[in-house]
């Protein structure tokens, strides 16, 4: 995969990525204490793996939706807020994808909790 430049396609994770990790936890206990214990365990696991995963930014795979990275506010998320997950999912391709989204869907009709937002100030000028 590393033969194709990471800027050639929206999916940039090409070189030096041997695996994708999906952090997934399931429990059958009920109650707030059980939920907190399991969620804290997941947080410790995520932190423990930090030295072994990509950095600057710590990459994420778009189809493993990690809502801890943040979510759209009713589909009206700013570029700054979306860049928190955008650069993890798409690296520097995020900037280019925002420009495409701004031209193709300036009203942000096609959106979800982790979609790429249009750049409203840029779309009004063009």
Asked whether the CA dihedral 55, 63, 25, 37 is positive or negative, the reply is positive
Query: What is the Cα 53 distance to its own chain's centre?
Result: 15
Q: List CB contacts of 1: < 8 A, sequence separation 6 or more.
A: 14, 15
Catalytic residue among 19, 48, 61, 64: 64
Closest CA to 10 of 66, 61, 69, 65: 61
64 is catalytic: yes
Catalytic machinery residues: 64
């Amino acid at each position: 995969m590393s033969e194709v430049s990471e800027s050639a396609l929206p999916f940039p994770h090409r070189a030096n990525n041997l695996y994708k990790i999906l952090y997934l936890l399931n429990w059958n206990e009920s109650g707030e204490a059980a939920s907190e214990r399991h969620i804290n365990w997941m947080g410790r696991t995520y932190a423990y793996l930090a030295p072994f995963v990509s950095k600057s930014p710590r990459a994420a795979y778009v189809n493993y939706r990690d809502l801890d990275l943040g979510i759209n506010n009713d589909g009206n998320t700013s570029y700054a807020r979306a860049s928190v997950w955008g650069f993890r999912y798409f690296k520097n391709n995020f900037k280019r994808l925002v420009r495409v989204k701004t031209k193709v869907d300036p009203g942000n009709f096609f959106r979800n909790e982790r979609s790429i937002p249009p750049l409203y100030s840029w779309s009004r000028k063009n």
